[in-house]
Amino acid sequence: MPRVIKRLLLQVFLLGLLAGCGRDDVFPITWHMVNVNSSDLQGDANILEIGDRVILIDAGYAQEAEENLIPYLRSLGIDHVNDVFISHPHRDHYEGVRVMLKHGVTIDTLYLRMPPKEICDREIPWGCNYSGLEALVKEFRQAGVAVIEPAVHDTFDLPQGSALTVLHAQPGDFSNDTIDVNDLSLVMRWEIGDFRVLFTGDLNQKVGSLLSNDNRMKSDFMKMPHHGASSLAPNSFFDAVDPNYVLVPGPRWVWCGERGERARRWTESNQLPTWVNGIDGNVRVEFYEGFAKVIPQFTVPDCRSKAFGVLRTDQLSDD
């Protein structure tokens, strides 16, 4: 074989290897449901890693952020987060962002919708704190963080062809009824290839009922709203989502007790693989081309009918 042809074949071979390595490098895209539910406290904290882009959806209470979120970020080698979304202004969702700044985690943009003051004031002194939220926004802006109010239909194009879309953000009370702060939650859909993940914040009964006929809710993975607690969105909303897999950011005592009974019974009746922070610890979902892999920190068969361990979606069985 002539030397020139050999060289050309070698170049093609090496280019093929490099292309293959590049393709391997794009996977996995990962969702970490961080366990900020290790005590009696409940909360949400979700890290999305897409290439070199890092997104955080909620950050838990300050105590849980100190004990769990910050160590978890460090274990991933993350000291910079591009975007932080606060689903709604309750402390168990936003308090941890201050802890991140305290520990030197830099943030580019904080997405936070200020609640209507009249809705926030209904929950004084236990829930929403309007002046405290104003102080938080001021503090972050002074730290050089852009603070933006996301709107319905906002779509954030992410690396590797994925996208995060705000499907619903209730602007305020209904014309004929009042709502609570939980029902102000951002409802967001994350698309990764053929997979859809629905982030629901603490969506409650009233707005959950409104969305029960919305076919945009249909998703493969559902983050259970409101930690699985009793006032969460109705079963008709879960039916609209029609998930194949459910992840619950809640403590064991909520999910296994009376407060979690309705949501727990729904997952059991539908025989859905379910993972719960307060039982399974940190839960990692890795998305590949054609399949996803769910990897819990612990394997404990408490209060679930299916999926106590690692599961590959293309195998539909525990590894």
SS3 173: coil
- In this prediction, residue 308 has a pLDDT band, given cuts at 50, 70 and 90, of confident
pLDDT on residue 57: 99
DSSP 37: -
pLDDT, tens only, 203-218: 999 999 999 999 999 9
- pLDDT of residue 314 exceeding 70, the answer is yes
186 CB-contact burial (10 Å; exposed 0-12 / middle 13-18 / buried 19+)? buried
When the candidates are 3.30.565.10, 3.60.15.10, 3.40.50.150, 1.10.10.10, the CATH number that belongs to 26-318 is: 3.60.15.10
Q: What rounded mean pLDDT belongs to the chain? A: 92
Task: Tell me which of 67-81, 115-129, 184-198 is least confident.
Answer: 115-129
Give the DSSP per-residue string, 98-109: HHHHHTT-EEEE
State both tokens at 160: 């590797």
φ, ψ dihedrals at 147, nearest 5°: -115, 120
pLDDT on residue 24: 45
Query: What does the CA dihedral 153, 156, 160, 161 come to, rounded to 10 degrees?
Result: 20
- In this prediction, residue 152 has a pLDDT band, given cuts at 50, 70 and 90, of very high
- pLDDT of residue 4 exceeding 50, the answer is no
Query: How far, in Å, are 42, 120, 213 from residue 177 at the CA level?
Result: 28, 15, 19
Judge contact between 227 and 252, C-beta under 8 A. no
pLDDT on residue 288: 96
The rounded distance, in Å, linking the Cα atoms of 8 and 198 is: 48
pLDDT on residue 6: 42
Q: What is the mean pLDDT of residues 258-279?
A: 97
Judge contact between 222 and 193, C-beta under 8 A. no
Judge contact between 90 and 182, C-beta under 8 A. yes
Picking from 197, 183, 46, 70, the residue whose alpha carbon sits closest to that of residue 116 is 183
pLDDT on residue 131: 95
pLDDT on residue 316: 65
Judge contact between 204 and 184, C-beta under 8 A. no
Strands (E), the chain: 29-33, 45-50, 53-59, 80-85, 106-111, 146-148, 155-157, 163-168, 187-192, 195-199, 221-223, 245-248, 274-276, 283-287, 292-296, 311-312, 317-318
pLDDT on residue 20: 40
Q: What is the mean pLDDT of residues 24-30?
A: 74
Give the residue with greater pLDDT, 229 vs 27. 229
The rounded distance, in Å, linking the Cα atoms of 129 and 13 is: 62
Task: Tell me which of 9-18, 98-107, 226-235 is least confident.
Answer: 9-18
State both tokens at 250: 């809640």
pLDDT on residue 12: 35
Q: What is the mean pLDDT of residues 239-251?
A: 98
Proportion of the chain above pLDDT 70, given as a percent: 91
pLDDT on residue 117: 96
- pLDDT of residue 7 exceeding 70, the answer is no
Judge contact between 241 and 270, C-beta under 8 A. no
- pLDDT of residue 81 exceeding 60, the answer is yes
Domain ranges across the chain: 26-318
Query: How far, in Å, are 3, 149, 178 from residue 159 at the CA level?
Result: 41, 22, 39
Instruction: Indicate the pairing of strand 106-111 with strand 80-85.
Output: parallel
pLDDT, tens only, 293-302: 999 999 999 9
Picking from 315, 264, 305, 281, the residue whose alpha carbon sits closest to that of residue 32 is 281
Q: What is the mean pLDDT of residues 152-175?
A: 97
Picking from 233, 156, 243, the residue whose alpha carbon sits closest to that of residue 201 is 233
* Residues in contact with 25: Cβ distance below 8 Å, sequence separation at least 6, in sequence order: none
